[in-house]
Amino acid sequence: MDRCRINDDAILRDAGEQDIPLILEFIRGLAEYEHLLDMVSATEDELTKYLFRDRMAEVLICEYQEKPAGFALYFHNFSTFLGRPGIYIEDLFVKPEYRGKGLGKALFARIAAIGVERNCGRLEWACLNWNEPSIKFYKSRGGQPLDEWTTYRITGEALKKLAEEQ
């Protein structure tokens, strides 16, 4: 997909390297919404390297009336149980002024279609427990919370310390 028309006012398109400043703007917008802006340390150089040089993730941009309205960043994971790849949605964000226009639904559905096209066995993402509007949205699309799983994370100095143990 290069571009896909959602309706008369909106399109989805694959992001290009020229979109790096916009992608970083969307990341910051999402982080602000999630009250985590102080956690954003991503730079344009890092995003360029990992998204467009190393191709470690992919990005869709949504435009409404030719203005940037939202984005989704996703990458492949792998299910050993299914023996097939999956897609993990790291970020899906629509600017507040564009919500309610079906743009989030279109981004979500497009990623699902990509998963089906690539023979993926599942689509996964994380959602903050307090984010009721997003929880409602995901459940309305068929999403099921995995209450029996807890996500763990190691970052920063703890990650470096663990790596030194090898």
Which residues are known catalytic residues? 138
Nearest alpha carbon to residue 61 among 106, 28, 31: 106
| CA atoms of 95 and 93, how far apart (whole Å) | 7
Quote the CA–CA distance of 133 and 6 in Å, as a whole number: 22
Please report the sign of the dihedral spanned by the C-alpha atoms of residue 129, residue 132, residue 136, residue 138: negative
Which residues are paired to 87 by β-bridges? 76, 123
